[in-house]
Amino acid sequence: MSDIDASDLNSDPSLFEMMEERAGCTISPTLQKSIREMRSGIVIMNEFAKWANFYVIVGSAAGALIGLQFVVLTLVADRPFHGMAEAGAAFGSPTIVHFSVTLFLSALLNAPWRTISIPLVTWGMVGFVGVVYVVVITRRMLRQPAYKPQFEDWLFYSALPMVAYAVLAASSFVPNRFDFSIALFMVGGSALLLLFVGIHNAWDSVSYHVFVASPKEHAARDRGDSK
């Protein structure tokens, strides 16, 4: 096989006939299938390996930011306000979910898979569940009484996450018609978008508590003391 490209074994059955002629024996269908599966596994692992550093960076960032969110929540826990539970479900929980999905995708794409089926179905399911989750979050944003969402809120809490999860779900269908590497670019883009959306939303929540909620609390307390 020194002058036969092993990558052609998946697409050109005549190469098996050439190998049989050279070897002077017949290659059984079972062996042919094993060779194809082995070659497919090598190609998949090579494609995944190209993204290893990317997912190490993205996954590490997501994991660290999840920890910081717990710290921030602890710091603002002693400053409750009307509708805090509803607002937290609409604006706080999605940030943790986006970071967690990014971390999960990083782990999923760094696992030593021998077949594309399992990761493909898994990230596709994550994408579909994410789309449903964004719809639920949008309803929560409409119903919570603590804060009236602005355009920027609709963009980062609803529109962009919907795009990220929709692309992630759609990428699970790409290998059936296009090159597998295109699907990996779509998954990587979705993970990166979710990471940056989470960073924006985390900063947005902190800045709201520091620059808006806290001054209102102090102003109300000062008015009470003056009376």
The string of pLDDT tens digits covering residues 80-135 is 555 567 777 888 889 999 999 999 999 999 888 877 888 999 999 999 999 999 99
**Number of domains the chain is built from:** 2
Which residues span the domain enclosing 82?
51-226
Q: Which residues contact 75 (CB under 8 A, 6 or more apart)?
A: none
Under the banding of pLDDT at 50, 70 and 90, the label for residue 5 is very low
- Percent of the chain exceeding pLDDT 70 equals 66
Query: What CA–CA distance (Å, rounded) separates 93 from 87?
Result: 9
Helix and strand numbers (H, E) in the chain are 10, 0
Q: Are residues 64 and 14 in the same domain?
A: no
**Is residue 171 exposed (0-12), middle (13-18) or buried (19+ Cβ within 10 Å)?**
buried
Q: State which amino acid sits at residue 128.
A: F
Q: Are residues 11 and 92 in the same domain?
A: no
pTM of this structure: 0.75
Q: Are residues 58 and 13 in the same domain?
A: no
Domain-ending residue, one of 49, 72, 87: 49
Q: Are residues 37 and 22 in the same domain?
A: yes
Q: Are residues 26 and 79 in the same domain?
A: no
The string of pLDDT tens digits covering residues 167-204 is 999 999 987 666 788 899 999 999 999 999 999 998 88
Mean of the per-residue pLDDT values of the chain: 78
Q: Are residues 1 and 55 in the same domain?
A: no
**Is residue 131 exposed (0-12), middle (13-18) or buried (19+ Cβ within 10 Å)?**
middle
